[in-house]
Amino acid sequence: MPLIKLGFSAAILIAIGVGLWLRLWVRRRSIEARFPPIGQFISVDGAKVHYKTSGHGPDIVLIHGASGNLREWEFGLRAAIEKRFTVTAFDRPGHGYSDAIAGSDHLAAQAEHLRAACAALGIRTPVLAGHSYGGSVALAWALQEKLPALLLISAPSLPWPGKLDPWYRATNSRLGRAIVPFLASAIVPTSYVRSATNAVFAPQIAPEPYLQNFGAMLAARAPSLAVNTAQVNALLRDIGNQMAGYPALDMPCALIHGDADTIVPLAIHSQKLALILPQARLTVLRGAGHMPQQSHRETIVAAIAGLLP
């Protein structure tokens, strides 16, 4: 009898596991059908990199933030700057349609990988623009090679007090990262992802075209969730390791930050970074949250235009 019960329990667990796997597979196929790649692909050390290039003029590379993808820049900003710049946006490693790489967790490895992608595309020493976590990658990149200019939008740049939210703490271990993202990917509803996106915009409101077309659900695929949590959990340590090099970054640097940003607070990051970078110009957006590239696009366009003569 105990063996029968054990076998029955095992069968139930197997059925649950198969059901979750099927749910993940079907959901991923559905998400990718709705939000297909919009750019091209290049292989770097055997890893696929998704990118989109348009425009004419000096090169500018756009780097998206956590849980993002290169669609971030498609809501008017690309069109506004591609008349003066050749604009290239990448999916960071493990996001969108770019493969994860060895060292995907870390800023320096991501910067090296995207630099290699740029070299393969013939892009030399571009202007860099990074939003949020993408700004942290841009800083790591600038520490690796001399760049003509840098734009950091709502970017984490210096160590912060306190802890990350419970979601990241739950995934800050090998076991948690192996289980939690896959369960979340299977069961978290689209409505939650939509509300989380709105929360990132606060106190502004995410416009409906953004909610419909950004493809936030791409980040809800299990592999992307796992990569994103690992990157965010490693961010504080990575920033601590790279901040000693900031005073040597003597290229023109524009910092754009909202004073109502509760995700990456102005006072902890850009306000202090502006005192460290030799040529930093800080623009504080009154009442703006974490998404100035969407809510204050004209300011971003003007900042980019002002970085080069």
Length of the chain: 309
Average of per-residue pLDDT across 243-264: 98
Residue 142: per-residue pLDDT: 98
- Contact between 76 and 103 (Cβ < 8 Å): no
Q: Which of 197, 215, 227 is nearest to 38 (CA)?
A: 215
Query: What is the separation of C-alpha 150 from the centre of its chain, rounded to a whole number of angstroms?
Result: 17
Average of per-residue pLDDT across 4-30: 62
Distance, CA of 226 to CA of 175 (rounded, Å): 11
Please report which confidence band the pLDDT of residue 25 belongs to, taking 50, 70 and 90 as the band edges: confident
Other CB atoms within 10 A of residue 214 CB: 21
What is the residue extent of each domain of the chain? Answer: 39-157+166-307
Average of per-residue pLDDT across 167-195: 87
Distance, CA of 183 to CA of 254 (rounded, Å): 40
CA atoms 220, 221, 225, 227: torsion sign: negative
Please report which confidence band the pLDDT of residue 8 belongs to, taking 50, 70 and 90 as the band edges: very low
Q: What Rg, from alpha-carbon coordinates, does the chain have?
A: 20
Whether 18 has a pLDDT exceeding 80, the answer reads no
Average of per-residue pLDDT across 143-147: 97
Give the SS3 label for residue 212.
Answer: helix
Residue 184: per-residue pLDDT: 86
Whether 14 has a pLDDT exceeding 90, the answer reads no
Which tens digits make up the pLDDT trace of 68-113? 999 999 999 999 999 999 999 999 999 999 999 999 999 999 999 9
Which tens digits make up the pLDDT trace of 265-279? 999 999 999 999 999
Q: Which of 96, 139, 72, 132 is nearest to 297 (CA)?
A: 72
Helix (H), strand (E) counts: the chain: 12, 8
Residue 2: per-residue pLDDT: 62
- Contact between 91 and 62 (Cβ < 8 Å): no
Which tens digits make up the pLDDT trace of 200-231? 999 999 999 999 999 999 999 999 999 999 99
Whether 28 has a pLDDT exceeding 90, the answer reads no
Distance, CA of 35 to CA of 73 (rounded, Å): 15
Average of per-residue pLDDT across 46-65: 97
Largest separation between any pair of C-alpha atoms in the chain: 82
CATH 3.40.50.1820 is right for the domain spanning 39-157+166-307: yes
Contacts of 135 (CB under 8 A, 6+ apart): 63, 65, 152, 153, 154, 155, 156, 157
Residues above pLDDT 70, as percent of the chain? 93
Structure tokens at 88: 């290239």
Residue 149: per-residue pLDDT: 98
Whether 182 has a pLDDT exceeding 90, the answer reads no
Residue 26: per-residue pLDDT: 80
- Map tokens 């005073």 to a residue: 247
Residue 81: per-residue pLDDT: 96
CA atoms 188, 191, 195, 200: torsion sign: positive
